[in-house]
Amino acid sequence: MAIIHKTTMTPTKLELLTAWLPTRSWYVGTGRAPELSRTGGFRLDDPEGAVGIEFLVATDESGPAPVSYHVPLSYRGAPLEGAEQALVGTSEHGVLGRRWIYDGTHDPVLVAQLLALFEGRAEPQAQSLSDTPDRSVTVRFTGTPAATGGVTTTVTDGSHDTCVTVQATGSAAPSSLNLRVTRVLEPGATAPADATGDVTAGWRSPDGGEHRGVFAALHRAGS
């Protein structure tokens, strides 16, 4: 299980996201710099213990109404080769030293563990506590398990989500899957009827209200 260190990060995750979010196609622009707070999320464990995996909700209050963004992040102790375009930034961790922080939709370890979550091979963990499952995260899956031989991915940002096309390299899996990661969260949203799986989790609004919605959905290729 991943250990959550009670320490500092300089710059903080929210400071890095304040600069990075407005560069995304799915960011709802307000004409002002984002005013972010962390309002939800959960983690997954890397079986190798090398990569931190977090599904973070950051709520922006810079506009007339709050907007909550889902940002999967991966934390590494060295640069991820070939992922320069996915780098959110670097930060000095008070215990672990320099960390390279990536948009996790481009990180093969995060994508593999998200697929494992769909298939029941990974368990969601509390965002801020070590060795503590997060029972509030719910998963539905009716598809075919992915191959264990490895995957390659193609990532495409849309206006409200990111599509990760997963091409399985093992013989037991379907040729490809579309993993749609919600970026702009909508309270009460459900997965499309053609989805073969979905992950639903909660977040808070700035006034303390509790919300739930789809963080990610799985589709057969072409849907």
Backbone angles phi, psi at 59, to 5 degrees: -105, 130
Q: Cα torsion at 130, 114, 80, 91 (round to 10°)?
A: -40
Angle at 55 between CA 50 and CA 56, to 5 degrees: 120
> What whole-number distance in Å separates Cα of residue 112 and Cα of residue 169?
13
What's residue 218's pLDDT? Answer: 95
> Is residue 138 domain-resident?
yes
> Considering its fold, how many domains does the chain have in total?
1
Residue 54 has pLDDT above 70, yes or no: yes
Is 21 domain-assigned? Answer: yes
Is residue 64 a part of any domain in this protein? yes
d(CA 84, CA 88): 9
Residue 193 pLDDT more than 70? Answer: yes
Residue 131 pLDDT: 81
- Whole-angstrom distance, CA of residue 157 vs CA of residue 175: 21
Confidence of residue 22 (pLDDT cuts 50, 70, 90): very high
Question: Residue 122 sits in which domain range?
Answer: 9-220
Return the half-sphere exposure (C-beta side, CA atoms, 13 A cut-off) of residue 3. 6
- Over residues 29-40, the mean pLDDT reads 93
Number of continuous H segments (helices) and E segments (strands) in the chain: 2, 12
Query: Which of the four pLDDT bands, split at 50, 70 and 90, describes residue 206?
Result: confident
For 86-132, the pLDDT digits (tens) are 999 999 977 677 999 999 999 999 999 999 999 999 999 998 787 89
User: How much is the mean pLDDT over the chain?
Assistant: 90
pLDDT above 80 (res 65)? yes
pLDDT of residue 221: 75
Question: Which is more confidently placed, 30 or 11?
Answer: 11
Instruction: Supply the pLDDT for residue 220.
Output: 84
Instruction: Please check whether residue 142 lies inside any domain of the structure.
Output: yes
Q: Model's pTM, two decimal places?
A: 0.92
